[in-house]
A and B are shown apart, each in its own frame.
Chain A
Amino acid sequence: MSSLRILVGVKRVVDSAVKVRVNSAQTGVETANVKHSMNPFDEIAVEEAIRLREKHGKDVVQEIIAVSCGPAKAQETLRTALAMGADRAIHVKTDDNLEPLSVAKLLSKIIGEEKPSLVILGKQAIDDDSNQTGQMLAGLLNWPQATFASKVDIKDGALEVVREVDGGLETVSSSLPAVVTTDLRLNEPRYASLPNIMKAKKKPLKTVSPADLGVDIRSRLQTLRVTEPAKRQGGKIVASVDELLDKLRNEAKVL
């Protein structure tokens, strides 16, 4: 099998255990002083890349590159990826709000330079739940895509992926290069051990800007308002079917 390079995209998001609240300006959620960590699906992506290398050996999987687009603190997320086992990292530094299309464009430019054979992304980020970047990237590169992967393998230079779809599991095979996005059951990410965290500090991390890559990251969407979901109303117990129908018709007005 010829050697391949894997590129993994990671995003720094608000930690999943944090209880977010809408900021007073109603433009988004409060992110100051709130704990951030790597998007859980991206952790799975990094883990999958490392497992592919462990399975096929360093001769086959030559290099794992972690990429993140975001503010300065995104470097922490990249260091976590390095501590898990990536070889080097690229940070596209910008403080602007990035939409999936912009991220896809940035990644495609980097992919043009780094020429990986396999790109693994998380299926979606837990802050915006867009589920678009992987698919848009494949479109821009004109590469095959295998999304919602629950199993990934490389056999004789071809990719075999089991996808989780509404009807069940779908197995697809494709040539390389390709884009894969990870779903939850693909693997269980490893802990970054202390010695690896220390080694990660020395691994190379390159910083570039969207301007360097010649990408326009203007937003196409404008957020009008962000509000909290309506408070849950108490439930009511009804005594009979007639009462239920009455309430559905006259109070909830759904009949």
Chain B
Amino acid sequence: MDLFLTNSSFALHKTLIERLELCGLLEVCFADWATISWNTGQNQVIIEELAILTPQYIELLCNLIDIPNNPPYITGYWTKDGQEIENSEETVNRNNEQYIIKRTFSIQARDLGNYSCMFRENEAQVTFVLVVPVIKDKRDKPVVSYTGDSVVLECKLKHTPNTWNWYKANNTEKGLINVTANPLNYKIFINGNETKLTVLNLTEEDSGKYICSAEFDIKPSESYVELKVLSYTEPLKPFIAIVVEVIVLVTLILLWEKCNKPDGANVFSSTRDESNGVQNNTARQRKLEH
């Protein structure tokens, strides 16, 4: 089976993505294409992710090769989010043992989704996932900090949005964080494709979900970070427990030794029993000295 993404096709893929970002509203952008190879008995499903920043026209292309029996034509169609798009079916003629199907889509905010080219005759398909840039490195564990301390929450993207906004989520509501209204509590730093929110003078109420929103022309891209604010008594509990344990241990050890200590002879004879000739030596040494 041919590997789908050879180096050359990858290079092409990258170039196309770059071209995509330069596209404006009314241009047709040759956004992405995929080559699927179909061998007898093998299904191949390929998934390609495309980041869309602005509303535009996008052309998607699927190229099917290595079909057994090389029929003169095959039938292909497009689906969006699993639903077949009406009137998208077309007959593809063989062209040098390749079958190419392509279609231009107009993409607005509501048109984002999964677009697939599929064929009636076999199971090969390519899915193009059209989304706003996704904020990938999201912490799934909450950020922990302490009252009176400060904390930095950050969001990063590969593409640069028009601007960033931060929200604090209260149940289902989102409240915009306004730095000018609360200069003592918040600081927002924006630098192209990354942003940092600094929350100062933490209190327990500052716990909760914080949402960073990257504003693109087409749609904002959001990600959230959870903040937990603890009081200092939290880590103090295991700490005190360990310190108590250490004190108990040390007291026990020293007491035990004190109880065994008056028996100086005991210590001597016990060591004599346990070890090899060493103690015998000292015993004999005593005899010699006497």
Partners in one complex: no
Using CB atoms and an 8 Å cutoff, list the residues of chain B in contact with chain A: none
Chain A residues close to B by CB (< 8 Å):
none
